[in-house]
């Protein structure tokens, strides 16, 4: 039962248990909210009986009903308090855990996932989808189930009391629910279309933010805004149609319910004139009938909310079902040789990047990968660190297949400097410290000096404590690259991957940094990707890639 709830609503095991508790407390609250009707029933039964039966007398005085009313209020308050804690508080905790779980999931997914997914799509799942789930599960879903259970209890009690009037009161319920359920496909389809249109708007905005420099450079602002306006207008139009469809169906079903009270009035009056029921029973059903449809209305609204939620739940389940990169957590290689053996890899079907590639990167040597653009150099470096998993062949580190090693354990052995540098909106010191979180300030400064960071940091007002903005926006390309090299120097891992590490530097700074890189690569397994011949001049081995295959291999020092 719990597993079925987990899958249906994309909940954790604890979330499923909390959901069941929330439904129970919400059911109790719905039943407790009928206590005022019970109070009226008891009061009328007591005070109206003498009217219909002169020999009867009033059993309880005003004091009794005052105490009973206060007792009912207290019971409703206590149940409402527990209901709030079991729904709202637990839902917020589940929402926080869901976001953390998604972040953990994303951390373990191969980079292929991020290559296929748009950034705004992933962000939407973590933020918007989680928010929608949080709101609906705190305000609608437990209430939906609780309302259905409480209505069932109340209906059973009323059928036992008088089945004719109960039937007159409840005959409309299955017809009203049928209107909603039979239109589920249309509502769900409209909700999915809305979601796709909303995501298209988000992606257009994200694209504009990412490419704002290019948009301005080529005077494309008007064209970009025109496309954005078209997508927003289309989203708005379809959203209005969808809301109108849902509103008509839900309100139509709720209007149908009102026929039930009319049926009670007509049938009750007929039964009263024939003497089948007394006036008291008739009044009781009229009072209850005025209240009983409120939870049923809630069921209608919450069913529509659940249909809206289905798209989000499907996306959550889809992400949870994605295969993660796994492997052994115990890894102690005897050496750090990297061996590619008949490796095939493609980012997408039909576009092969590496084909039957075989070569070895020896420990203590500098191995350079060269070749034309698109030959697979950078891809090979990323595959060596298991950023992606290959389609066939083997990549071994110290004789161990890296596909059988847990990625985070594997990457402890790598220092990586890629051409595309990513920095964080914090100080230069903390950006470098990412290479080794427990590093002392002295270790950070030493790595920074080797990477020639002193030159530009000394001109900053706060030195290494200067905050550099999102992705290091206040630094030049060369400065950002030097911070990245400092990170790798600080990590001091046995394997070094350098992908165009000095591409953004002028000749003078490249010469300075080469001294730091020489320290970085000493007695390590080094794989360098470069176009400049001076970058690979000291290489022990040069591997030429052409169309994803090894075309040539040289040992210039032999």
442-484 per-position pLDDT tens digit = 999 988 888 888 888 888 888 889 998 888 888 887 788 888 8
What residues does 354 pair with on adjacent strands?
Answer: 345
Q: What percent of the chain has pLDDT over 70?
A: 92
Whether pTM exceeds 0.85: no
How would you label 509-533 residue by residue, b for 16+ Cβ within 10 Å and e otherwise?
bbebbbebbeebbeebbbbbbbeee
Q: Which two tokens stand for residue 327?
A: 């492997």
pLDDT at 292: 75
CA-angle at 512, arms to 509 and 515, nearest 5°: 145
> How is 504-543 classified by DSSP, letter by letter?
TS-HHHHHHHHHHHHHHHTTSEEEEE-SSGGGGTT-SEEE
At 475-532, the pLDDT tens digits run 887 788 888 888 888 998 999 888 876 665 667 766 766 766 776 777 788 888 876 6
pLDDT at 513: 67
Which residues contact residue 539 at a Cβ distance below 8 angstroms, ignoring those fewer than 6 apart? 366, 367, 368, 528, 556
Asked if residue 148 lies in contact with residue 313, where contact means CB atoms within 8 angstroms, the answer is no
Tokens 């039962």 map to which residue?
1
pLDDT at 168: 87
pLDDT at 342: 92
CA-to-CA distance for 213 and 278, rounded, in angstroms? Answer: 81
pLDDT at 157: 82
In 10 A of CB 152, how many CB atoms? 11
CA-to-CA distance for 316 and 141, rounded, in angstroms? Answer: 17
pLDDT at 534: 64
Q: Which of 280, 278, 279, 272 is nearest to 46 (CA)?
A: 280
> Which domains are present in the chain?
2-319 (1.20.1560.10), 338-554 (3.40.50.300)
Helices (H) and strands (E) in the chain, counts: 22, 10
Q: Which two tokens stand for residue 60?
A: 């309880």
- Containing H/E element for 62? helix 62-84
Asked if residue 275 lies in contact with residue 224, where contact means CB atoms within 8 angstroms, the answer is no
The three-state secondary structure class of 306 is helix
Tokens 């090894």 map to which residue?
550
Q: Residue 260, exposed/middle/buried by CB under 10 A (0-12, 13-18, 19+)? A: buried
List, for the chain, all residue ranges whose pLDDT scores fall below the cut of 50: none
CA-angle at 115, arms to 392 and 213, nearest 5°: 145
- Containing H/E element for 499? strand 495-499
CA-to-CA distance for 200 and 193, rounded, in angstroms? Answer: 11
Determine phi and psi for 544, rounding to 5 degrees.
-100, 120
């Amino acid at each position: 039962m719990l597993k079925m709830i987990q899958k249906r609503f994309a909940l954790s095991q604890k979330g499923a248990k909390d959901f069941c508790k929330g439904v129970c407390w919400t059911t109790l609250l719905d039943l407790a909210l009928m206590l005022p009707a019970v109070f009226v029933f008891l009061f009328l039964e007591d005070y109206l009986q003498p009217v219909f039966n002169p020999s009867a007398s009033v059993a309880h005085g005003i004091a009794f009903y005052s105490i009973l009313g206060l007792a009912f209020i207290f019971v409703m308050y206590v149940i409402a308090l527990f209901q709030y804690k079991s729904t709202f508080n637990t839902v917020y905790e589940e929402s926080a855990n869901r976001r953390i779980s998604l972040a953990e999931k994303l951390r373990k997914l191969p980079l292929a996932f991020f290559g296929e997914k748009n950034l705004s799509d992933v962000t939407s799942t973590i933020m918007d989808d989680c928010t929608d789930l949080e709101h609906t599960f705190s305000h609608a879903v437990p209430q939906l189930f609780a309302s259905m259970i409480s209505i069932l209890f109340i209906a059973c009690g009323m059928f036992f009391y008088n089945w004719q009037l109960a039937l007159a009161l409840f005959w409309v319920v299955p017809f009203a629910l049928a209107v909603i359920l039979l239109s589920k496909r249309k509502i769900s389809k409209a909700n999915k279309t809305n979601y796709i249109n909303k995501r298209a708007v988000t992606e257009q905005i994200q694209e504009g933010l990412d490419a704002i420099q290019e948009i301005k450079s080529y005077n494309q602002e008007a064209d970009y805004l025109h496309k954005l306006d078209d997508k927003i207008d289309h989203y708005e139009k379809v959203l209005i149609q969808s809301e109108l469809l849902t509103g008509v169906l839900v309100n139509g079903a709720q209007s149908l319910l009102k026929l039930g009270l009319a049926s009670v009035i007509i049938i009750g009056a007929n039964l009263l004139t024939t003497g089948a029921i007394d006036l008291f029973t008739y009044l009781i059903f009229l009072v209850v009938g005025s209240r009983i449809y409120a939870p049923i209305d809630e069921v209608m609204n919450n069913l529509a909310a659940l249909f809206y939620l289905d798209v989000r739940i499907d996306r959550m389940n889809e992400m949870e079902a994605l295969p993660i990169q796994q492997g052994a957590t115990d890894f102690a290689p005897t050496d750090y040789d990297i061996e590619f053996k008949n490796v095939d890899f493609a980012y997408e079907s039909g576009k092969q990047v590496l084909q039957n590639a075989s070569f070895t990167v020896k420990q203590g040597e500098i191995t350079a990968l060269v070749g034309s653009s698109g030959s697979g150099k950078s891809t090979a470096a990323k595959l060596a660190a298991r950023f992606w998993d290959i389609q066939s062949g083997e990549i071994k580190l110290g004789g161990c297949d890296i596909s059988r090693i847990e990625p985070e354990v594997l990457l402890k052995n790598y220092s990586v400097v890629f051409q595309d540098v990513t920095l964080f909106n914090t100080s230069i010191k903390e950006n470098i410290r990412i290479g080794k979180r427990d590093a002392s300030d002295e270790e950070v400064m030493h790595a920074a000096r080797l990477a020639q960071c002193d030159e530009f940091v000394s001109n900053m007002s706060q030195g290494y404590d200067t905050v550099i903005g999102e992705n290091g926006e206040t630094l030049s390309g060369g400065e950002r690259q030097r911070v990245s090299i400092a990170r790798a120097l600080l990590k001091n891992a046995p394997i070094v991957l350098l992908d165009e590490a000095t591409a953004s530097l002028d000749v003078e700074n490249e010469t300075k940094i080469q001294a730091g890189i020489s320290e970085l690569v000493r007695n390590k397994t080094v794989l360098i990707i470069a176009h400049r011949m001076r970058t690979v001049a000291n290489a022990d081995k040069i591997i030429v890639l052409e169309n994803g295959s090894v075309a040539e291999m040289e040992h210039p020092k032999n």
